[in-house]
Chains A and B, each alone.
Chain A
Amino acid sequence: MTSFSKTIRYKKHWWLGVITFNLYFMVYYWSIDYLNFGVSGSLIRWSPMWRSLIFKPISSFLFEPIGVIQNFGIQLFIAPVNILIGLVLSGLVFLNITASLYIYKLPKQCRLDHNFNGLIGILPSFLTGFACCAPTFLISLSSVIGSSASFLSPFFAWLLPLSFIFLIWGLRKSYKIIQMY
């Protein structure tokens, strides 16, 4: 049985993973400002220039939306590349969550200190929104440290790759442990 099959064997773990997958995707999409709440009006609009926009970067790992769907107070910008990034990240989080839960279920002596390794990568990807053209985070930070905050700007470009690396690293570690038992 592969590590993956082992981790989704328990229905409870599977469902927790699915819920986290969805939540993570929504928070990621909200953090990059492509999911907004409290917006009035109903609207569906696509860009006639979608072919030239679909791979056009706005910032690091942030791509131009090609459409918008708006209803029931929710506004969703459609940026296919960012949807793909969000799905890959959420998928990794799903794998990490199910693996961590599986390890947590193991007898204590087998777990050692590896139980929630994979979750370290969850946070940085939420910060990718800060790298966008609307430097909300920099503005609040600049009130504390002044224009020095701008020197942090290039660092934000690395947050999403860091998320990937951490999530893969955590998953690799978790699966190694699972393989042993």
Chain B
Amino acid sequence: MKKTIVLLLIFSMIGLVSLTYFNNLSTPEEVVQPQNTTQTDLPTIEESETPVITKDYSSLKEHIMSGGPPKDGIPPIDIPKYLKVSEVDYLSDLDPVFVLETKEQVYVYPQKILVWHEIVNETIDGQNMSITYCPLTGSTICYLADEDHLDNTYGTSGSLLNSNLVMYDRKTDSLIPQILGVSIDGSLSREPLPTRPVLWSTWERVNVLYPNALVLSTDTGYFRDYNNDPYGSYMPDDEKSYYYFGGPLFPVLHEDDTFSAKKNVIGVKHNHDIIAIDPELIKANNFIEFEIGQVPSIAIYDRNLNTIRVFSRIIDQEVKTLRPSEGGLLDENDTFYPYLSKKLRPMNHFDVMWFAWYAYYPETEVIK
């Protein structure tokens, strides 16, 4: 009797270990095929001007480490469902949300859902795009499919580099660190993936400004406690929150104390030029002008969303003097350019914790 019990338990243990191991090896089954792959005419960030990165990032591969979960153990949302603003009852006023604007529609992605999934694979205007969020580095970036694989989607590899999410692409299984946005392993080209701006805001602002927006539903196909953020919260009074206090959770390649580790900065990239801007400086001055890689640019404070937007000041091949105005920018001739104007080129920029930005880009220029 005793021997039978012990043997049964040992076999069940071996079974469980094998199950876990073989499941780790398996590739994800749920890959959403896009409805169509027609290129949209909406502007992406410097898409046509993106050069091939010559910097050798392949050495970064050896610094990738396991974050704990297996591949897609943090499951991306592949079939996102949306609610109308009036139907949303799971968000509080101060809940952070990520806003993706297109000419036709505004999409809202609550941080409390993305913290459990990190990637939402979506097809918008016939174009595959992935809204990615890494809670460990506070970075939200919308990546478009690689132009050689327009029906590509991204998954979570379960690994980290500089304490930052490492994505993989489901066509070639290449590894792409989220902040870097460039494949460092696999057959995907070494070009930076095209991006679209994603703006941080709060629910109280977004639901007033965009009453017709579509908001990501908690009906994600997975079951998580969406009212509980495992890292703490973005509420200013949460003194124990990972988002505000302490250092990185995993080792990073480079460290610097120009700002505190978790300080939010606006990271701007153009080719090999890298700048970090203190958002408080932009808020205090309403806007700042700067140059990155010989591109005259402007970073403006959008009061309605309490967020930062960054644009090139080159319009119709002319350098303009731009000033923020309600819903867009005005040039010296009082010509108004709405934020989504085809003439305005958003620069590749996103909010990110200082430690993570510096860990990838120790050569970064800092505007503070």
Q: Which residues of A contact B (CB under 8 A)?
A: 2-4, 33, 36, 39, 45, 47-49, 52-53, 55-61, 64-68, 75, 77-78, 81, 85, 88, 92, 95, 131-136, 138-140, 142-143, 146-147, 149-150, 153-154, 156, 161, 164, 168, 171-172, 175
Contacts and interface: CB of A to CB of B under 8 A. Distances in A.
How large, as a class, is the contact surface on chain B? 35 or more
B75 A64 contact: yes
A54 B227 CA distance: 23
B23 A57 contact: yes
Given A57-B73, A60-B20, A153-B67, 5 more contacts: A39-B225, A47-B223, A65-B223, A132-B69, A140-B240
Contacts of B251: 147, 150
Contacts of A136: 230
11 contacts: A52-B30, A57-B70, A57-B73, A58-B73, A65-B223, A133-B69, A134-B231, A142-B246, A147-B252, A149-B249, A153-B66
B284 interface: no
Contacts of B290: none
Interface of B is mostly: loop
Q: Ordered nearest first, which 6 A-B pairs have the shortest CB separation?
A: A134-B230, A65-B223, A150-B250, A133-B69, A68-B223, A57-B23
B2 interface: yes
Contacts of B221: 47-49
A92 B242 CA distance: 37
B264 to A, nearest CB: 18
Contacts of A59: 68-70, 73
Interface of B: 1-2, 5-6, 9-10, 12-13, 16-17, 19-20, 23-24, 29-30, 65-70, 73-75, 116, 163, 219, 221-223, 225, 227-228, 230-232, 240, 242, 245-252
A2 B2 contact: yes
B65 to A, nearest CB: 7
B73 A139 contact: no
B9 A88 contact: yes
Contact of A85 (B6, B16, B231): B16
Contact of B68 (A53, A135, A175): A135
Contacts of A4: 1-2, 5
Given A68-B223, A132-B68, A55 B30 contact: no
Contacts of B68: 59-60, 131-133, 135, 153, 156
A51 to B, nearest CB: 10
Most B C-beta atoms less than 10 A away, residue of A66, A139, A146, A172: A139
B223 A55 contact: no
B163 A147 contact: yes
B20 A61 contact: yes
A58 B69 contact: yes
